[in-house]
Structure 1
Amino acid sequence: MSGDTGKVVDKDVVIIGAGAAGIAAARGLQTLRPDLSILLLEAGDRLGGRAWTVGLAGTVDVALDLGCGWLHGARTNAWTDIAGDVGLTVDRTPAPWNGGRQIKRDEADVHAAQEAIGAYFERLESHEGGDIDMAGMLEPGNPWNGQIRAIGTYITGAELERSSVVDYKRYDPGPGPDWRVREGYGTLVSLYGKPVPARLGAEVRRIDHRRAGRIDIETNQGTLSARAVLVTVSTNVLALEKITFDPPLPEKAEAAARLPLGLADKLFLRLAHPEALPADTHMLGSTSRGATGTYQLRPFSAPVVEAYFAGDLAHDLEREGRDAAFSLAGDELAAHFGADIKKGLSVAAMSAWAAIPHIGGSYSYAEPGASDLRGRLAAPHDGRIFFAGEACSRSRYSTAHGAYETGVAAADLIAGSFPQIS
């Protein structure tokens, strides 16, 4: 690192954001460069970021993942091995899209829907030429467009009209299937972060990099300095410039604004009579409209239903509150299992990711024409300010292991930016 102001810096490396990327980078640096002092700053009150596990009241072994829940591309997903290393259990029950149990529907309808959905995604994969939005690949009048819209919205967290075909084509989570962590993905990420020195409730407001040899980081808990900074906050935080850079870095805010966070929220419903529903079975709320929930019934045989809402519907339900989400989920379950099912339902937990000021959503998507901006977002500045997070991943964006991989890559760059140990 160049220059020296004469003032002793507080840390060699400060990492902003204690999600999957920040934690992965910190653990990587601890291994690569044990001589460096590291501090993790987290605006929230816990480790894990968008990986967050809570318990079910009155139970000791039911974990509810309010954020990421599936080990996508599990065979090469780094978190799969880490789960074993920290003593957690990887459950290999097939995901719904990997052949898991589904609510039985009319076979002719199922076949017709599968044909239409498969044809749509084949059109996306075979699209060549300029980037367009994903809605542009729908067939006008196709009776299954509602279901296609629902699935596409779950994937990107945003309506098809706002989502890039090119970015979708680049998505590659790695070899499947997708598995789960019984104790929770959030539990896994936070446990992995335990060995890292961290300061919770530390909201970073300004990064002053005007001086050679020192970067000053202003927080609600005071100012500290570092020789290098890694920024792993969400694109919505960067786009809104909740952290200001001095001098400014407009290219980062501009890239982040075109790689916004989509929204996917979860509602966990407690079942007074769990035997009324089949265990570990999936269903779609409605097959005719895009604004619908998808439901995992009794995951791991627990007495809960995991409801998942995305896109504009998720935003609407956040604004209207949990009663609205509860009402919609109850109605969609009743349409399949009868009105009496609603009598035994109660709210166990619900996420509201858009409402969390230091996050602002769930996972990034690219607007049409913006997919290449992931590289711009990830590029270091001046060999001293580094960036990581799921939105920085070209092919594994929106995933915790994509975030992990960008954190590891940033750790390698940071380690190499300091003089080597003699």
Structure 2
Amino acid sequence: MGNEFDVIIVGGGAAGIGAARRLAAHNRAALLLEASSRLGGRALTQDLAGYPLDLGCEWLHSGDRNAWVAIAEASGFTVDRSDPPWTKAHPGIVKDEDEQEAAQRAFGDWEERLRVVAAGSDRASDALEPGGAWNDYVRAFAGFMSGVAPEEISATDYMAYDTASTNRNWNVPLGYGTLVAASLPTSTSLRLATPVDRIDLTADGVAVSTRAGTVRAGAAILTVSTAVLAGDAIRLPSGTEPWREAAAALPLGRNEKVFLVIGRDAAFEPNTHAYGNLRDPRSASYSIRPNGWPIIEAFLGGDGARILEEEGPAAGFAYVSAQLVALFGSEVASAVRPLAATSWSRMASIGGAYSCALPSQSQARARLAQPFEDRLFFAGEATHPFDFTTAHGALDSGERAADEALAALRDRHPFGGRDPLAAA
């Protein structure tokens, strides 16, 4: 590796790629170091059974203001603006309309009570109706949204996202992960499978140590997950303890996916949705034949995702298969077969799904986003004030951190008095 760059980016997910794009637009020399053998981070598309399936982020949330939409279309990716499957219930399910309406109303009431709770304990579980018949339904949906139980959710934080969301959810048929990984500028130097183990401040910038050696730059942008940042995998300069504490206040929740292949003709309507047992807090949300493909995608959050983390993929397949049989009948058991299951919580370089502020810790996002000594800058979905949990929030945060690094470098003259940004 060379030993001088304008900026070193640590982490090749959406935030790192966002930072690289902004630096490339300013003709700056950037090096991106990624611990894993691929780009994308929590955006990952894999070709499974001949279909590009998103194992991580999948939806262009708030699509009408999501920066990835313009990037996708400029790069030749199709953006599907039709309604997502969860807006269209599968017609073949026998369901109790009254129960479904009651469950949805209970969830809406819980969200309304969060406003009161935010001014007090800020603990989302305090908005649950004591002894409420639909509390398990609320717990399941809180798991989808935040990856954790209501006891671990800041009401203030939850509402910040909910208020900012435009509820326009679009899709990239070739895969969100494909889009993210394809968006790194060719001018950015890239080193995959190169985990960073230490970052030190120097007189003129930073020194970033890896197993392949030490590389130097005027600044570094750290985009790793809060699970990694709060841990001890990367040794940071003295004085960064508050940043680690902020990361610990924004832990990653649990969200996993299980994919099944529809192996023969079955009465599954394309681009439809089903929800499992309304009274089971582990229930999955089922996307049925997305894009018309012979696939069922089960999305699990919180306690449901814990099944995969603690018991493994076989237990996850068994659980969702049993729910599908309960929804569609016993013939489903012979109509579908397991295809793949995710394990985000078990990945050392990531450690979970997306961040959720603990009660009374919503301000940790702003604290984590602060620069350190105008040398070290922080990005990632967890640093966004309201678009956390999203790939566009990560992208925007990477651009923000890159702008901060550019401004800091303009104010000083690293590399022996040469100002690398004088022409910017």
TM class, shorter-length = over 0.9
Judge conservation of contact 1:235–1:261 (CA < 8 Å) in 2. Answer: yes
Q: Distance in 2 between matches of 1:152 and 1:301?
A: 28
1:345 equivalenced with 2:336 (yes/no):
yes
Give matches, 1:181-260, under 5 Å.
181-193=172-184, 195=186, 196-209=188-201, 211-260=202-251
Match of 1:100 among 79, 88, 93: 88
Amino acid at match of 2:10: I
Q: Do the aligned partners of residues 277 and 188 (structure 1) sit closer, same or farther apart at CA in structure 2, a change above 3 Å counting?
A: same
Give matches, 1:23-422, under 5 Å.
23-31=17-25, 33-34=26-27, 36-57=28-49, 59=50, 62-96=51-85, 99-103=87-91, 104=93, 105-171=95-161, 172-193=163-184, 195=186, 196-209=188-201, 211-419=202-410, 420-422=421-423
Judge conservation of contact 2:200–2:236 (CA < 8 Å) in 1. Answer: yes
Amino acid at match of 1:95: P
Judge conservation of contact 1:274–1:304 (CA < 8 Å) in 2. Answer: no
Amino acid at match of 2:61: H
Deviation per residue, 1:136-157 (Å, 9 max, x gap): 1111222211111111111000
Q: Number of aligned residue pairs: give it.
A: 408
Q: Do the aligned partners of residues 300 and 409 (structure 1) sit closer, same or farther apart at CA in structure 2, a change above 3 Å counting?
A: same
Deviation per residue, 1:88-113 (Å, 9 max, x gap): 1111221255x334455222222222
Deviation at 1:205, TM superposition (A): 0.4
Deviation at 1:51, TM superposition (A): 0.3
Instruction: Give the match for residue 416 of structure 2.
Output: none
SS in 2 for 1:421: coil
Q: Distance in 2 between matches of 1:220 and 1:310?
A: 35
1:21 equivalenced with 2:9 (yes/no):
no
Judge conservation of contact 1:93–1:100 (CA < 8 Å) in 2. Answer: no
Amino acid at match of 1:80: V
Percent identity over the alignment? 40
Amino acid at match of 2:286: Y
SS in 2 for 1:90: coil
Q: Distance in 1 between matches of 2:382 and 2:357?
A: 9
Q: Distance in 2 between matches of 1:264 and 1:75?
A: 25
Q: Distance in 2 between matches of 1:11 and 1:250?
A: 26
Q: Distance in 2 between matches of 1:356 and 1:220?
A: 20
Judge conservation of contact 1:77–1:174 (CA < 8 Å) in 2. Answer: no
SS in 1 for 2:374: coil
Judge conservation of contact 2:117–2:126 (CA < 8 Å) in 1. Answer: no
Judge conservation of contact 1:16–1:22 (CA < 8 Å) in 2. Answer: yes
Q: Distance in 2 between matches of 1:173 and 1:125?
A: 15
Report the TM-score, using the length of structure 1 for normalisation. Answer: 0.93
Question: Which range moves more in the overlay, 363-372 or 103-112?
Answer: 103-112
1:11 equivalenced with 2:1 (yes/no):
no
Q: Distance in 2 between matches of 1:131 and 1:409?
A: 32
Amino acid at match of 1:139: E
Amino acid at match of 1:303: P
Q: Distance in 1 between matches of 2:376 and 2:396?
A: 18
SS in 1 for 2:214: strand
Deviation at 1:356, TM superposition (A): 0.8
SS in 2 for 1:290: coil
SS in 1 for 2:258: strand
Deviation per residue, 1:100-132 (Å, 9 max, x gap): 344552222222222222111111245452342
Q: Distance in 2 between matches of 1:273 and 1:122?
A: 44
Amino acid at match of 2:64: R
SS in 2 for 1:18: coil
Runs of 4+ in 1 over 4 A off after TM superposition: none
Deviation at 1:274, TM superposition (A): 4.8
Unaligned runs of 5+ in 1: 1-7
Q: Distance in 1 between matches of 2:255 and 2:61?
A: 16
Q: Distance in 1 between matches of 2:100 and 2:220?
A: 51
Amino acid at match of 2:105: E
Amino acid at match of 2:88: G
Q: Distance in 2 between matches of 1:167 and 1:382?
A: 27
Judge conservation of contact 1:282–1:295 (CA < 8 Å) in 2. Answer: yes
